[in-house]
Amino acid sequence: MDPLKALTDAERKPYWLDSTAKPEPQARLFGNTTADLAVVGGGFSGLWTALMAKERDPSLDVVLLEGRRIGWAASGRNGGFAMATLTHGIANGLERWPEEISTLEHMGLRNLDEIGETVTRYGIDCGYERTGELHVATEPWQLEEMHESAQVARELGVRFDVMDADRVRAEVDSPTYVGGMWERDGCAMLDPARLAWGLRQACLDLGVRIYERTPVRSVKDVPAGLDLLTPYGTVKAARVALGTGVFQPLLRRLKHFLVPVYDYALMTEPLSAEQLASVGWHNRQGVGDAANQFHYYRLTQDNRILWGGYDAVYYNGGKIKPEYEQRDETFVKLAEHFFTTFPQLSGLRFTHRWGGIIDTCSRFSAFYGQSHGGRLAYAVGYTGMGVGATRFGANVMLDMLSGERTERTELRMVKEKPIPFPPEPIRSAGIQMTRWSIARADLNQGRRNLWLRTLDRMGLGFDS
């Protein structure tokens, strides 16, 4: 099908946020208030932190401040893949923290278990399905890396089932597949906006005070705490947890470690029973291909297909603008790739197209720290894995703020920082060279050029 025709009626807004389930906003903060813990940011990072702070100590006075609406940014625009991995995959974790990889894998699986338990405990209607993820190879060179990853996973006690082309196509039928593997336990599919809204309600029910449309402008040291200055009031808090992702950081040091990467997605109309049967997908796994420029895709509860990824776009200078959320060049490319993958769905139309920002760091996984004499903690840099890993990061922040030494805080992965990105304009030039090189590698049997090999040796990277 002509991709332009398929996109004709696609609305320019995130599908998940275009919902009648979207709650009315909480009031802005007017005047001054105090709190034992102030949480800045109303995405998954902040919501998990506020919720678990009250679960740990119901008497704690917790305030959450969100600059716009709960879940409006990355938390409401992603693919809805809640991944167990805390390290952006076993291979990345093994390269950086080999002595901790077994612990990190099992902590990640336990974290995902607890997300499911939370959804059940609070009755959050977010379509949570523990389906696992199907990793598919579309070129023979990708199979060798898959087989090696699966072998390592099995040695760590993680279930990865290697499949030939016929077995993969029996799960999800595409003529582009040459093989793959099914990560059985490591992924749950969900509606991310409804998860955010459900966590919001759970927080309110436990007594968290939430103020929306209340951006924090600055943090100031005061006796016995920190003052958070907002447009119309101030919060004096004993402790602060920062979960603002890649947006203008309240800690200037963080800007050296983070870059905003735009990711784009499409959503189809619901598939008919006949269309769905032509694809199979009986086990409803999330799917991701194994290219460097990869696609991710999944079924929704009403059997639409979300199709995203491939282009990971960095706008020179690290600029963040609303107009960057729409990129027709990428939408057409994604539509073309969709019909190449599923030619049997020719005639299907897209209903939504949108983009969002990923907080990317050079190690591809979150990093953690404290400032203001230990009274402020942060967790950022999830690099596309935040649907699941933000809950782990929230626990790290709460451990740090309590002063506890825990299994989490003693991890080298938690104690270390990523390598900072160079300043502009070197940063932009380097990222664009990396994007070009990654695309070339996909066209050249996965072979990495001198630039990519140099970055690999330095522990630097660029990913979504």
- The pLDDT score that the predictor gives to residue 331 is 98
| Contact criterion met (CB below 8 Å) for 317 and 424 | yes
Residue type at 225?
G
Q: Decide: 314 and 434 in contact? Cβ < 8 Å.
A: no
Q: How far apart are CA 274 and CA 139, in angstroms?
A: 29
Q: How far apart are CA 285 and CA 135, in angstroms?
A: 10
Q: What pLDDT, on a 0 to 100 scale, did the predictor assign at position 458?
A: 79
- How many angstroms separate the CA atoms of 208 and 240, rounded? 14
Predicted confidence at residue 235, as pLDDT, reads 98
In whole angstroms, give the CA distance from residue 168 to residue 173: 7
Chain segment 345-399, per-residue pLDDT in tens? 999 999 999 999 999 999 999 999 999 999 999 999 999 999 999 999 999 999 9
1: helix, strand or coil: coil
* DSSP three-state, residue 257: coil
pLDDT of residue 144: 86
pTM for the model stands at 0.96
Q: Give me the pLDDT at residue 249, please.
A: 78
pLDDT of residue 158: 87
Q: Are strands 31-40 and 62-65 parallel, antiparallel or unpaired?
A: parallel
pLDDT for the residue 246 = 87
Q: What is the H or E stretch that residue 378 is in?
A: strand 376-380
List phi, psi (to 5°) of 291. -75, 160
Pick out the chain residues at pLDDT < 50.
Answer: none
> Distance of alpha carbon 72 from its chain centroid, rounded?
14
27 vs 415: CA distance, rounded Å: 37
Cα(184)–Cα(213) distance, integer angstroms: 40
